[in-house]
Chain A
Amino acid sequence: EIVLTQSPGTLSLSPGERATLSCRASQSVSRSYLAWYQQKPGQAPRLLIYGASSRATGIPDRFSGSGSGTDFTLTISRLEPEDFAVYYCQQYDSSPYTFGQGTKLEIK
Chain B
Amino acid sequence: EVQLVESGGGLVKPGGSLRLSCVASGFTFSNAWMSWVRQAPGKGLEWVGRIRSKTDGGTADYAAPVEGRFTISRDDSKNTLYLQINSLKTEDTAVFYCTTFSFTSGWSWGQGTLVTVSS
Contact = CB atoms under 8 A, between A and B. Distances in A.
Chain B interface size, as a band, is 20 to 34
A30 interface: no
Contact of B47 (A50, A54, A56, A96): A96
A77 to B, nearest CB: 20
B66 to A, nearest CB: 10
A25 B44 CA distance: 17
A47 interface: yes
Given A96-B61, A96-B64, A97-B35, A47 B109 contact: yes
Interface residues of A, number: 24
Given A92-B101, A95-B50, A45 B106 contact: no
B97 interface: yes
Interface string B57-93: 0000111100000000000000000000000000000
Nearest to A49: B106
Nearest to B35: A97
Contacts of B64: 1, 96
A55 B107 CA distance: 11
Nearest to B6: A44
Nearest to B49: A96
Contacts of A98: 47
A88 B112 contact: no
B46 A51 contact: no
Contact of A44 (B35, B106, B111): B111
A47 B61 CA distance: 23
Interface string B15-49: 00000000000000000000101000000111101
A99 B107 contact: no
Contact of A88 (B45, B62, B105, B110): B45
Nearest to A57: B105
A35 interface: yes
Interface of B: 35, 37, 44-47, 49-50, 61-64, 97, 101, 105-112
12 contacts: A1-B64, A45-B109, A47-B106, A47-B109, A51-B106, A56-B106, A90-B47, A95-B61, A96-B47, A96-B49, A97-B47, A99-B47
